[in-house]
Structure formats: C-alpha cells, structure tokens
Amino acid sequence: MTYSFSMANRISLYHVWLLSLLVLANAETYIIHMDLNAMPPSHTTHHSWFAATLDSLTTTKTTTLDTSSYSSKLVYSYTHAINGFTANLSPSELELDTTHSTQFLGLSSNYGAWPVSSYGKDVIIGLVDTGIWPESGSFNDDGMSEVPVRWKGECEEGFHFNSSLCNKKLIGARYFNKGLLSNHPNLTISMNSARDTDGHGTHTSSTAAGRYVKSASYFGYGSGKANGVAPNARVAMYKAVWDEGVFVSDILAAIDQAIIDGVDVLSLSLGGDGIPLYQDPIAIATFAALEKGIFVSASSGNNGPYYRSLHNGTPWVLTVAASTVDREFTGIVTLGNGVSATGSALYPGNLTSSQVPIVFVGACENDLDAKKVDRKIVVCLDSNDTLGEQFYNVGNSNVSGAIFITNNSDIEFFMQSEYPVLLLDQQKGKLVMDYIQEVGKGEPKASIKFHGTQLKTKPAPRVASYSSRGPSYSVPVVLKPDLTAPGSLIIASWPDWVSPTSIKTDMSGGHETLFSKFNILSGTSMSCPHASGVAALLKAAHPTWTPSAIRSAMMTTSDNLDNTFKPIQDLGDNNNPATPLAMGSGHVSPNKALNPGLIYDVKPQEYINLLCGLNYTKTQIQTITRSSTVNCSNPSLDLNYPSFIAFFKENNTNTVKVTHEFKRTVTYVGAGSSTFTAKLTSIGGLNVSVSPDKLSFRSKNEKKSYKLRIEGPNKMVQDEVIYGFLSWIDNKGEDGMTNEGKIVKSPAFRRSFFNSFKSIVYWATSSFYDSIQIIIQSTLLDSEWVREVFGLSSNVHLEALAESPNIPERIQDKDNLKVLTELPRSQSRKVLALLVFGEFMVGNYYLLEIYWKHQMRKRVKNLVGMSDFFGLRLSGTILVYTNQFRWWESGMTKDPGGAGVGSGGLDILASKIVEAYYLGFAGRLYFIA
C-alpha cells in the first residue's frame, strides 16, 4: 500500500495539534492522528472531540456534537492502536480559510475559545451601522437553534426589506432616521429600510459573527472559506448611518433600542472624541448599556499615527486599535531579464501576460508626458511622501500599468486601484530601477501578474499607521486604546448591489463597474467587530462575567510579541516597537482570554467616582448616569483598570521627585488555590515598585489588592513616552496576566507657549460664541514643527504665536474668504494645524471613522449632516484636509461638487481624510507648519 503526504500542509492549517496525515490511495480517505493531551476540557470523551473535529472539516455549519452530522463520513474511531479516526473527505472540505483573521487569532475547532464557547452560541451582537444585506451567505441559519426567548427585538419592514428576511442568525433589523428627516424634511431617502446600500454594516457584522461560506474571495484574492469570529452568535442590525447623512440623535435611538431589545454585545465602528463625557451622546448612551450588563466595543479611529487622535476614549467601552495579519495580497512583476519582484496589489482585473514597455518617470508629481508613458508600465519613485499625488496623476494617464516604489506605511489604501498598480518597497524597487538603467537606450519590458495571496508573512501583527493613538482627550487618566485587533485588509461579506470597485476601460472616462459578494477593507471599523466577536465568545463561555471582566480578560492576556517573538512593531513609527498609546495592552488573544487567572472588575459606582475626580458637576454627572442622585463621597482618578498611565512635567525644577501611586483590586477566576508573583519589566529612568509583590488566593472569586508606585525623575524629555509591563505570574510558572504600565510625560508643549493662552481642554457650547474654546485638535508628528493651542479667544493677536516657526505669509482676506489652494510642497507634509481668529467659528471635529472610504477617489458624504454630532447648525465654508495636502472650498448654500446639504458629496483626490473643519465668518486664517 502506498501513502501520500501531499495534503499534510493544507490540513495543518486547520489543526495545529495534528501529528500526521496519511492519505490513502483512495484520495477521499484520511487517517487523522490526534494528541489526547490537547483535548479541550469541554469534551468529556475523546470520541466527542473526534466528532467535533470531523464536523468542523465536513460542513459549512458550525461545530455541534450531533453525531448524525458526521456519521456518514466516519470510517473508524480508534482508541488503542492510535489516537484518532479515519474519515472520507473531499478536497473541497479541506478548503483554506479566506477570512484568515480568525485563524491568525488562534481560533481553532480543536481547542480553545471556539469549542469551549460553542462558537459564541446564542450571544446576541448588536451593531449600529449602515445596515445589512440579509441575503448574504454569512447570515444563513443552517443548523442553528431557535432564537433565545429573552430576545425582544424584531425585523422591521421597509423598502426592499421584508420581515421574512430575518432568521435564526439575523434575528433583528431596525432603522432610525427621524433625526435626519427632521433636519431635512424634504429629503427623500433612497433605501428607507435596514438594507445596506453602503457595504460597511454588512462587512462589520459578518466580521463579528458571519457563518461559514465556501468559495469566497475578492476577485480571486484570498480564495477559500469565510467566517466571522463568533459564527454561532446572533446578529441584530440597527441602521442609523445613511448615504444621505448621519445624525447622532439617530445613533442614540439605535443604541437605546438595542438596550431594550436585549443585545449582549454592542459593536460601534463609529464615534468621536475631544469633548467631555457629559457632552458626548455616545458616551452617555453606552453608560446605560454598561448598567444593563452589555459589553460595548468601539473603534479607536483612523487618524493615526499622531498622538491624541483617538476616538471613543470612554472608560466603560473597549477602545480597539487596528493591526495587520500574516497575510499579504500580491502581484508579481517579471522583468525582461527574467528577474521578478513581488509587491502589494489588489487590482481586480487582469493585465496582459505579454511583456510591454516599462519606463521610469521619476516622482510622477506632475502631469505625465503622454508620449512618454502611453500604453507603458510607468515606474514612479515616492521619495518625499507624495504617493497620493502620484497615484492620481498616473491614473489620469493612458498607461498599461504602474509600479510605485514606496515605503509609505498606508499602502493598503492604494492597493484597490482602478488601473493596474503594484506597490514595491525600496529594496525590491531597486531591482526594477537597476534593470531599466542596464537596458539604457534599449526598450526595457515587463509584465505584471495579479491575484496573489501569501500566508504566514512576517512580522505580524504590526500596528497600522492609520490607527489613532492615545491618550484620549476626554479622559486622559485612563490609558487608551485598550488593545489592538486585526483591521488591515480584512475580507468580509458585501452587498450584491453595491460595487466595491471599478476598473478603467479607456482614457475618456470609461469604467467597468464590478460586483462581488466579498470586499477587502482596512480600518479600525474592521478591528472593532473582531473584538466584538471575541467578547461574544467570552460571554458564551462565562455568562456571569461583567463587561469590565470581559474587557479585563481580553486586555491582560493580549500578546506583546509578534510571530517572530519580537515586540510588536508600529508601522506609523518606522517599525519601532509599538507603545501602549498605539496598541494598548497588545494584540487580542481569544484562547488565552478564556482563562485570564485574574480580572479587574469595575462597578458602575467606580466610574461615577472617576467622574467626580474629573471635577464634573452634579448636573454633568446626572447627564451621564440619568440618575437623580449622585454619590461623590469617594472621588478618584484611579479607576480599577487593567492599565496604568502617569503624566510628568518636562524639565521639572522641583527637587522633590513626583510620585504616582495606583491601587488595584483583582479577582481570582481560576480553579483551586494559587499564588501570583509580580514581575516588572524595566522602565527607563523611573523607579517602579509593587506592594505586595505576592497575591495568594484560596478559592475562586476571592479578591486581593495591591499598589503600583511610580517615581519619576526631575527632568524628562518633551513628548517622551516610556512604558513597561507589570506581569502577575502564578505558582505554576505561567503568566496569569499582564498589565500595561505606561508612563506618558506631559505637557507636550513648551510652558512658555502655554503662558500666552488660557488652558481650557474642552469647549463649552453655552459660551461658544463668546470665546472659541478649542481651535485646534491637531496631533503630534514632530514637536519641532507642531504647536497645539487650547482656549484661544478672539482677542489674541499674532504676536502671541511668535514661537511657532514657518507661518506662511499668505493669509486669508477677512472680507473675501478664499482658501489657500495648495501649500508649498516642502511644507505640505508638516501642515497639521489650522488657527482661526474671530468670533464665529462654529465647529471642529474629526470625521466619523465610518465615512472614511478606504480607497482613492471616493466621496466625502454629507459633511453637513455630521453637524448634529455637536448639536450645532453650521453655515459658511467647508474645508477638507486630505493627505493630498490640498484644501478644497465649497459654499454650503450652493452645490458646486456636491458638497451642499443633502448632496452626494465632495470629490477628493486622496485615500483618507485627516480632519474636517466647519467655519463661519472666521476673519484671518493661518496655516501653522
């Protein structure tokens, strides 16, 4: 008898405990060896484990223990000769996992969070988003049990949406647009129902809890089987974000209804920050969810890599950053000399396999010479961070394809292109450049092949450059973000009617619109539902755990090392080790979170104590708690949180060293008795101690307290971030938990600069027109260039800004407001702040993350509708800053490019929006470089 091992590598992708795989001469019969030491505790016999394993291989349904689902496949179950079984399997049943992010998280049908939680069975995940596409295979209910009787939601009928479209998987779908319609009574909503016409909501909901779908891919990229993090969880969609606009009043109504309906997990891939909690409607609504025992996760925002760019810094929600996975989508350029190089690509079409001329055009920053580039592959060198401009210029030319040589850290937003694009790093790009130079006056040629997928790439994860950084403006004393999760290049379901992309067909503007049941997106919108799915798994495994207990388990067991066993890197910081302001406690690890050893629990009153410590008034606290009574007898900024953050002044002249002390109480959630010993990593320049350094527990749910003491030096470098870790190690020599001990030194600016201004962190809308409370919410790229100003009143003169270098001489004419259309190229990368002098500035906020369209030449939809986020009625001029480094002007009383009220949006030329400002009559305008 002969054996073949040709399938061994494929099957090992599913079973890390598989010892070997023998394929008999009959290609459908497999002998599978199992390691009994790896059997999950949820299985009482090895036969039940074998059954669950076989069922996971042989069906698109989630694993059950019903032997009727696998008996037709099972040939033998062995007990003594070997540990394992023999089964008949088809090649399609060994298909790779196209979602892959769940595999990267370590989720497996053999052990850990999936089998222990029954794949998140009966946990209800509610999402406030753009709606859902109910016909998607990700929401099929094959094999699912009846809807939990505690569920109070419904499937609301609407345009192209009948109640019959809900099932045992999609158990609720509602829509909310009264706020939108009350502000625009003459508006006609194109899809007045819970149906998704954007794609975002379908993508996030299938990421969190999508069922298994075979033969999934994005135009051939990542082909395989798709699934969400918690495939057996239920989904409830609350549509509050519309193509016509988004109003916070609708978002609040959606959250309120989700609480009434009885969701267990609430996933919010939207939000904002920069205002105090008592003025933040989402913070207020999620406090109510917390009191009802609902776990809330929210995206950190896509305004990175700058400090203080974070969204959703609310202490009672899990704030999720974004990171990469160990998968890359690729294309291969083959040069005329036979040398090839692999780069990043997501072009959906096909380029001819025959070789065509290739030409180097330099920086490609200006319009290209048509005679030089016509029907050729153009090579552009991004040497000064002008990739966005290059991308646009080449797209306007009649080229066969383009190769961009760049080390840009946000390349995922340039990969989904309408024309053939390959992105190479500098090292691989040198191969192309050398070849073109060697050929000289000859005719160099090349071809590009697309649709490649590479797995197990290293290093991974890495924190995405776009992921917003902490600390939070609203509550800086609580370290945010909390953790990071997969967010870059995530494949998930997509509406059939919504085109994810198109390809150019000719230079006259012709395009072919493409459709797909799956799409690839990047952003913290994608990382948030990953965390929501993990929370659902933990809720199913530990039904009595509170939201703070689940958050604690996820944070304290997160990974700080990548798949090369080195510290996780930060793509936005030249691949240096990521700090907790970028990744929080680390990368979420669902299997380890099942048994964290110790947890930090937080009662609602402890959050109230924090609000009291922030000097909120009784009325402000009541706004958040909705309670007539407020107990501020024990105010404290020291929340029982699974992380630490301390601020120290720069160049402190005080001879007495500043000390911060934190008190924490932990609850033992293990079995039997155990003793944990504290272990501190070195935190340079600081003296750190823990007392006591041992915690002994006799039984489950016992509580113990300890204190962490941090003593700072007299002098500290401006903007310096020092961090370390506190680990509690149990007496078995295993990490029971890891606490992030991050020390951030502040202020970020020189004191002499602050002396010119009254320091007010948040604006007060009641006195908004008397004094402009916040003018800038810029973030730090380089302390030599950036200045941040708070509380700038209308009578401050230019002389007060004398320390700010390189103020452009061109300024706005107060009587004829015109926008500076293009900044000097040498300064464009440094422009982060906008100062406005005058009494009538009406708003400034970061765009809701949901409106970042993740790719080039999309529309900024209805910025006007965003005004409800601050309860302000806006008028005047819209200024949009993109990474194309240009400003666009559009009057709001007219619609020259579609930027007016109720319109489709303003065309932009860039891959992401950094900030949007609404200005009334503002007087003089200064750009600070």
- The answer to whether residue 769 scores a pLDDT higher than 90 is no
3-state class of 260 per DSSP? Answer: helix
Query: 6-10, 242-246, 550-554: which has the minimum mean pLDDT?
Result: 6-10
Instruction: Please state, in angstroms and as integers, the Cα–Cα distance from residue 837 to each residue in 449, 518, 777, 867, following that order.
Output: 54, 47, 15, 21
Confidence of residue 307 (pLDDT cuts 50, 70, 90): confident
Higher pLDDT pick, 924 / 118: 118
Give the residue-averaged pLDDT of 723-730: 85
Half-sphere exposure of 813 (CA within 13 A, CB side): 3
User: For residues 26 and 401, what is the distance between their CA atoms, to the nearest angstrom?
Assistant: 46
- The answer to whether residue 812 scores a pLDDT higher than 90 is no
SS3 content of the chain, % helix, strand, coil (to 5): 20, 25, 50
pLDDT digits (tens, 9 = 90+) for 426-446: 999 999 999 999 998 889 999
Domains defined for the chain, CATH in brackets = 8-94 (no CATH), 116-325+464-593 (3.40.50.200), 330-407+420-436 (3.50.30.30), 603-636 (no CATH), 639-744 (2.60.40.2310), 749-929 (no CATH)
For the annotated catalytic residues, the residue numbers are 129, 200, 525
Give the residue-averaged pLDDT of 638-653: 80
**Cβ atoms of 554 and 534 closer than 8 Å:** yes
Helices (H) and strands (E) in the chain, counts: 18, 46
**Cβ atoms of 577 and 568 closer than 8 Å:** yes
The pTM of this model reads: 0.75
Q: Average pLDDT, whole number, for the chain?
A: 73
pLDDT (0 to 100) of residue 679: 85
Percent share of the chain, pLDDT over 90: 49
Tokens read off for 44: 């009482």
H or E element, residue 752: helix 751-754
pLDDT (0 to 100) of residue 850: 27
**Cβ atoms of 218 and 539 closer than 8 Å:** no
pLDDT (0 to 100) of residue 370: 82
- The answer to whether residue 528 scores a pLDDT higher than 90 is yes
Task: Give the residue among 335, 638, 608, 583 at the shortest CA–CA distance from 470.
Answer: 583
pLDDT (0 to 100) of residue 83: 54
Give the residue-averaged pLDDT of 627-656: 84
3-state class of 52 per DSSP? Answer: helix
Residue 509: partners with Cβ closer than 8 Å, 6 or more residues away: none
pLDDT (0 to 100) of residue 50: 67
- The answer to whether residue 104 scores a pLDDT higher than 90 is yes
pLDDT (0 to 100) of residue 44: 60
Confidence of residue 911 (pLDDT cuts 50, 70, 90): very low
> What angle do the packed helices 604-613 and 281-291 form, to 10 degrees?
150
pLDDT (0 to 100) of residue 660: 84
pLDDT digits (tens, 9 = 90+) for 578-625: 999 999 999 999 999 999 999 999 999 999 999 999 999 999 999 999
DSSP assigned state of 57? H
Tokens read off for 442: 């000859």
Higher pLDDT pick, 268 / 749: 268
pLDDT (0 to 100) of residue 73: 61
- The answer to whether residue 349 scores a pLDDT higher than 70 is yes
Give the residue-averaged pLDDT of 897-919: 26
pLDDT (0 to 100) of residue 52: 53
Write the single-letter amino acid at 466.
Y
